[in-house]
Each structure stands twice: as C-alpha cells, then as structure tokens.
C-alpha cells in the first residue's frame, strides 16, 4: 500500500509538466475562440490524441497510479488550461468509466476503443444519466428499457439531459429503468452503438460557462439495441434484481445506492478540476496585482488586495490537500467513513467560485471584460458546485454519513 505523500515522484512530475505544457501551448491559446464559438474544439482534441493525451491508455495509467495522485494531477493541469476545452477532452472518460465499471471484458474491448477513435479519426462518447425530472434524485428516473425476448433486444424510451457529448457521440452509454418496483436498484446501463435508429439529439444547451464542451438532450424513441449491449449481461442483471426484490419483501431494507457509491469515489477528480480553474485565476490575479499600478504603486502593495491573494492561495492549497487525501484513500481502499470524497468536491468547488470571483474583483473593470481570461474562468467555475452532485447534495451526503443515516 502506498504511503500518503504530498510530494510527487519524478515520473509524476514528468507527466505533470508534459500535461502543463500541452495546456499552456495548445489549450490556452485556443480557449477564448472556442468559448465564443460554443462548439466542440475538434482540432484541440485531435492534437491531444496525436500525443496520446486523448486515449484510454493515458487515463488508465493515471488511474492505476498506486499513490492515487495520477488522475487529480492530470485534471488540475488540464483544467488550469481551460475548463471548457478540458471537459471536451475528458468528457469521453465518463462513458468509458461506465463501461469499465459495469461491463464484461468483451464489452470493454469492443466499445471503449470506439469511444476514442484514433488521431486520424477522433471520436467522442456520452454518458447519459440525468433526466429533466431526475438529476440529484436518481430514483425518479423515467427512461425505460424493456426486454424483447423473441428478438433478444432491449427497447429504450425516454429523454436524457445535461449529457456531455450527447447526440454527437459515436457511442452513448444510457442508464435506464428495467424494474421500477425496486427503485434505483432497478436501473441498468446500456450501450447504444453508432447510428442506432431512434436516438437523436434534442436541445443543445447554450451555457453560462464551459461553453467549448457540448451539452445536450438525448432523445430515445423505440431505440432497439442487441441483448449483448446490456452492460454486465442479463444473467448478472437478473441476479441483482432478484436480490433487490427479496430485500424489498423482507421489509424494504435500505442499502447504499451503487450509483451514489460510484459518484462518491469519482468526486475527487471533479474537485481537482475546480482546483485547476481556481489556480489559473489566482495566478492571473497575482501577476496583474504585481504589474497594475494605482496611486503610484502596484496594487499588491495595498493590504485589501494582498490579503485577498493570501486567502486565495491558502484556500487553493487546502482544497488540493482534501482532493489528494480522498484520491489516495480511494486508490488504497480506505473507506470514506466521513464522506471524504464529497468533502473534497464540496470544498474545492466552493473555493473555485470564490477565488475566481476575487480574481475578477482584483482586475476591477478589466476583469468584467472578455479581454481578460478571469471573466471566462469565473463563468466556468460556476459548474463545479452543480454537476456531479450539487454542493447541497454534497452536504447532505456528508451529514448522513456522519450521522449513520442511509445515503439514498
């Protein structure tokens, strides 16, 4: 088991510097353009694919880092470059993780490569879980999957929303209800292969921030997928449903929702994204404060500015430490007895919003214009307290964990 450390080893530093170089040289120069265009930055994704940054192999290497710091380190550096472009690069990973977590070896080998394509023909994938009336409340999901035994096909109907890469993806991973009588235990995940009839893009959202990342509704109308597209297979699903029904008959015993457990483990990565955005805004504000003069001296000489920068840096470092602790715990198998995953995401996302707002304030009127990047960073930071569980949901998870109440 890897000992917890706050010092990256030489190999990690080399990877960090490599990602930072890509973020500085490729992502940052393109950030303002793709934010304005509100389109998927295909050329940037292709550049990432050419160097191996946009690939399953890269993320697998970071995921299996025994210290647990590979993923948060990579996320921080990419999102330091730009949150919208970074999310367009890592968004496919959401779908890939869904297959890796629930699929068979054959399903993983078949579908994950199709999610990424290659440097000459880049593809993206979408993970479709949220619905118009089922965001934080996963038990309210309405998208249904009905098994057609005669044809060995599943028929999917419903509408998904807030899907990163939704509608433009080569492969969609869709969560649907197969047995409504057992609540969230009656959910299953399905692969929808490329060009499957009945799947279409609904509304594409014009967002406040992360505008280079494509977010849209996905409409499913009598979408038929082969039986082998049920992640994990039907035998495994039937066994799981049988256990859920038995528990329901025995008095409705509440067990921790599997999706909630997965989210708890993935939340430190989102916290790392928030740390990256906060750090970028802080660095911009620090440099501006050292070079911007008012009343004959740099504004950093004023305590009102200097103390803000001191607080910003302190909060960023504290957020990173919470993220690293949770990431190390997840990798080394230590249980989140105090919801440490949610703690890291909650604190880092709130820090990102606060730090980017302070950066705008330090820039003054300039910070309110699109001529300076802190305006975009402030808009981007708003998403961190919303997706992967709102700050309110994080507090609920933490409070229920501390009190011993079930997380539903």
Q: Do 331 and 66 touch, CB atoms closer than 8 A? A: yes
Q: What is the DSSP letter of 117?
A: E
**Beta partners for 294?**
297
Write down the residue that tokens 């647990």 correspond to: 68
Task: Retrieve residue 171's tokens.
Answer: 């492969």
Contacts of 235 (CB under 8 A, 6+ apart): none
User: What is the DSSP pairing of strand 187-192 with strand 215-226?
Assistant: unpaired
Q: Do 134 and 166 touch, CB atoms closer than 8 A? A: no
C-alpha span between 70 and 13 (Å, rounded): 10
∠ Cα 82 173 107 (to 5°) = 115
Angle, helix 70-81 to helix 258-291, in steps of 10 degrees: 50
Q: Do 129 and 258 touch, CB atoms closer than 8 A? A: no
Among 140, 129, 133, 127, CA closest to 184? 140
Catalogue the active-site residues. 388
Contacts of 43 (CB under 8 A, 6+ apart): 30
User: What is the DSSP pairing of strand 297-298 with strand 293-294?
Assistant: antiparallel
Half-sphere exposure of 62 (CA within 13 A, CB side): 25
C-alpha span between 163 and 128 (Å, rounded): 5
Task: Count other C-beta atoms under 10 Å from residue 236's C-beta.
Answer: 14
Among 127, 264, 114, 116, CA closest to 189? 127
Rg of the chain (C-alpha set): 22
The backbone region for 226, taken as left when phi is positive above 0, alpha when psi lies in -120 to 50, beta otherwise, is: beta
C-alpha span between 223 and 208 (Å, rounded): 32
């Amino acid at each position: 088991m890897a000992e917890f450390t706050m010092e990256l080893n030489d190999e990690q530093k080399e990877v960090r510097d490599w990602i930072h170089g890509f973020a500085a040289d490729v992502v940052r120069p393109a950030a303002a353009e793709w934010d304005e265009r509100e389109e998927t930055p295909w050329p940037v994704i292709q550049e990432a694919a050419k160097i191996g940054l946009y690939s399953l192999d890269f993320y697998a290497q970071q995921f299996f880092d025994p210290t647990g710091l590979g993923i948060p380190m990579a996320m921080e550096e990419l999102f330091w470059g730009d949150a919208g472009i970074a999310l367009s690069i890592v968004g496919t990973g959401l779908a890939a993780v869904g297959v890796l977590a629930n699929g068979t070896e054959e399903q993983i080998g078949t579908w994950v490569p199709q999610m990424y394509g290659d440097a000459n023909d880049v593809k993206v994938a979408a993970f479709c879980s949220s619905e118009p009336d089922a965001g934080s409340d996963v038990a309210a999901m309405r998208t249904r999957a009905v098994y057609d035994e005669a044809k060995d096909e599943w028929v999917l109907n419903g509408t998904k929303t807030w899907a990163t890469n939704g509608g433009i993806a080569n492969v969609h991973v869709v969560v649907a209800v197969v047995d409504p009588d057992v609540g969230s235990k009656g959910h299953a995940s399905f692969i929808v292969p490329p060009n499957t009839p009945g799947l279409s893009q609904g509304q594409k959202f014009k967002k406040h921030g992360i505008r280079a990342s494509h977010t849209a509704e996905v409409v499913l109308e009598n979408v038929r997928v082969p039986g082998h597209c049920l992640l994990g297979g039907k035998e495994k699903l039937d066994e799981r449903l049988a256990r859920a029904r038995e528990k329901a008959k025995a008095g409705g015993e509440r067990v921790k929702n599997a999706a909630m457990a997965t989210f708890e483990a993935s939340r430190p990565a989102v916290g790392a994204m928030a740390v990256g955005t906060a750090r970028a805004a802080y660095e911009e504000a620090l440099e501006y404060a050292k070079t911007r003069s008012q009343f004959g001296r740099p504004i950093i000489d004023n305590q009102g500015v200097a103390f803000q920068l001191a607080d910003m840096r302190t909060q960023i470092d504290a957020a990173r430490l919470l993220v690293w602790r949770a990431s190390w715990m997840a990798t080394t198998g230590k249980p989140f007895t105090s919801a440490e995953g949610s703690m890291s995401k909650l604190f880092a996302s709130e820090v990102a919003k606060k730090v980017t707002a302070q950066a705008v304030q330090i820039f003054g009127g300039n910070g309110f214009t699109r001529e300076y990047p802190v305006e975009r960073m402030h808009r981007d930071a708003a998403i961190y307290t919303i997706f992967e569980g709102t700050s309110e949901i994080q507090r609920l998870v933490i409070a229920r964990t501390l009190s011993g109440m079930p997380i539903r």
